[in-house]
Homo-oligomer: A and B are copies of this chain.
Amino acid sequence: MTSWLASAQDSPFGLHNLPYGVFTAPDQPGRRRIGVAVGDFVLDAGAAARAAGEPSVLLDADSLGPLLAAGRPAWTAVRASLTAWLGDESYRAAISPCLLPRGEVELHLPFEVADYVDFYASEHHATNLGKIFRPGSEPLTPNWKHLPIGYHGRAGTVVVSGTPVVRPQGQRKAPSEALPSFGPSRRLDIEAEVGFVVGAGSELGKPVPLADFREHVFGVLLLNDWSARDIQAWEYVPLGPFLGKSFATSVSPWVVPLDALEAARVTPPTRDVEPLPYLDDREGEAWGLDIAMEVRLNGHPVSHPPFAAMYWTAAQQLAHMTANGASLRPGDLFASGTVSGPEVETRGALIELTWNGENPVKLPDGTTRTFLEDGDEVTITATAPGPDGTVIGFGEVTGRIVP
């Protein structure tokens, strides 16, 4: 099926994608509405439902919350309706007035984040950071290939793309210094990640097996887990990262439905350690995803992280996260951890790209970077294969450092 909307043809926001967000229109600045990105436009989803004669409380909302909580059958039904409204010529007259030029709307955090968990699923990234943070030790800890290592982050500081990132202050102590000092981070970094949005919750005490991934995960977005490496290095033993990460986590405004990513599914890398049964995805549906990412620093591409190279998949992460009976809530967000591939130019964090500052990144304006400077802007974009040779776009997550 193709859309009657010309700009949706050959667009990364074509009929095969239809990602969800929350927007305000310029003439109604206080009124948040669910939008669906299509071609160069945003569809006002609640207005479209009414125009189509199928009013929907899930779409006529100021957040994706109700739609997330409604579960897989509702997600499938809503996606079918959107596809019909934008694909079937007979809806053109009714639906056209519900389209707003995408450049004119303001985009917001599309849902209230319940719990935020960050994983550490790239073998290349974990190996690189182990070498940098714990020189002289085995870079991968003994548990790494047995379980997807993760930790809880701060849900309240997840912000939408475009929100300025204030350089954090905190305690830093270089190995050469006798005592820590307090001040602005001198080693401010990015982590290019993919985030997974939980829709349907689960009951306390009941693990969610690998096979139920699709019942609970609504969609996918891009995420920049800003990291103050100096604060992190001093604080993280023994209970993990805290203030080095909690000052801001930026997400892209469009949540790509999991259903749009069927054609992007790939076999994950071969695991060289036998997974325990609850993590064993060798039979059944594995959830490797061929998402090609790009990281730009002040407009200049500095890395192309390949999500398909991740050792642990999101389905394994979800099964692990709930294996102890921990419940899920609508709006839970879990992220992959930094996406890094085997080559230097595919590493998703500056600390790896510059090897702890030893090999600065060169920018076209003649300057170099080890870590981020005030005024720097980082943008992460990504695409994945869609059905029939189409491309699924994720849009972008961007943020500028302010003092």
Residues of A within 8 A of B (CB): 114-115, 117, 120, 130, 133-134, 141, 143, 146-147, 149-157, 159, 166, 168-171, 173, 179-182, 204-205, 207, 228, 231, 234-244, 246-248, 276-278, 320-321, 323-329, 332
Contacts and interface: CB of A to CB of B under 8 A. Distances in A.
A333 B134 CA distance: 32
A108 to B, nearest CB: 15
Nearest to A147: B171
Contacts of A171: 143, 146-147, 276, 323
A325 B169 contact: yes
Dominant SS among interface residues on chain A: loop
A156 B239 contact: no
Given A114-B155, A169-B323, 12 more contacts: A114-B156, A134-B238, A143-B237, A149-B239, A152-B154, A156-B328, A156-B332, A171-B276, A171-B323, A236-B239, A240-B241, A248-B325
A327 B157 contact: yes
Contact of A149 (B155, B168, B170, B235): B235
Contacts of A146: 171, 173, 179-180
Contact of A246 (B134, B152, B228): B152
Contacts of A151: 151-152, 239-242
A283 B328 CA distance: 44
A323 B170 contact: yes
A218 to B, nearest CB: 16
17 contacts: A115-B155, A115-B156, A146-B180, A147-B234, A149-B238, A149-B242, A150-B239, A151-B151, A156-B327, A156-B329, A170-B324, A204-B248, A236-B238, A243-B320, A243-B326, A246-B324, A246-B326
A20 B171 CA distance: 37
A65 to B, nearest CB: 13
A133 B239 CA distance: 12
Contact of A154 (B115, B130, B168, B276): B115
Copies in the complex: 2
A242 B118 CA distance: 11
Contact of A323 (B114, B166, B243): B243
A278 B186 CA distance: 19
Contacts of A242: 117, 149-152
Contacts of A143: 171, 173, 180, 234-235, 237
Contacts of A170: 323-324
B240 A324 contact: no
Given A143-B180, A152-B152, A243 B324 contact: yes
Nearest to A276: B182
A234 B234 CA distance: 22
Listed from nearest, the 5 A-B pairs whose CB atoms lie closest are A240-B240, A168-B324, A166-B205, A152-B152, A151-B239
A205 B241 CA distance: 19
Nearest to A179: B146
A239 B240 contact: yes
A181 B279 CA distance: 12
A401 to B, nearest CB: 12
B239 A324 contact: no
A159 B238 contact: no
B243 A321 contact: yes
Contacts of A325: 166, 168-169, 247-248
